[in-house]
Amino acid sequence: MFVVVFCASLLMAAAQPVAAQEIETVLVNGKILTVDPQSSMRSALAIREGRIAALGTDADIRRLAGPRTRTIDLQGRTVIPGLTIPTCTRRVQP
């Protein structure tokens, strides 16, 4: 339950308006699965400093792109949230 709530809050926070900082990468023309309470799906996302900066429609996200922004066309592919939990992957020594 904690993991789902944590992911939902992370993606919901990422959906807030983007500041004037440059967007490094945008993913467009895809199926972006969110973990918000409505399990909504978006078609694009923007990445800044290695983190999701915005979620929205292709047009919304393309407007955030600058001249040096890398644009990746997902061609309808699906993007799902990923988790890295280092404590779950540690080996326990006998």
- Residues 56-71 have pLDDT tens digits of 999 999 999 999 999 9
Average pLDDT over residues 22-47: 93
Q: Are the CB atoms for 43 and 57 separated by under 8 Å?
A: yes
Question: In the predicted model, what is the mean pLDDT of the chain?
Answer: 79
For 37-66, what is the mean pLDDT?
A: 94
| CA dihedral for 36, 50, 72, 64, sign (positive or negative) | positive
pLDDT score for 8? 43
Residue with structure tokens 């890295």? 84
pLDDT at position 84 is 63
Strand order in the sheet with 51-56: 51-56, 44-48, 25-28, 70-73
The strands making up 31-33's β-sheet, listed across from edge to edge, are 41-42, 31-33, 78-79
- pTM attached to this predicted model: 0.66
CATH class of 2-89: mainly beta
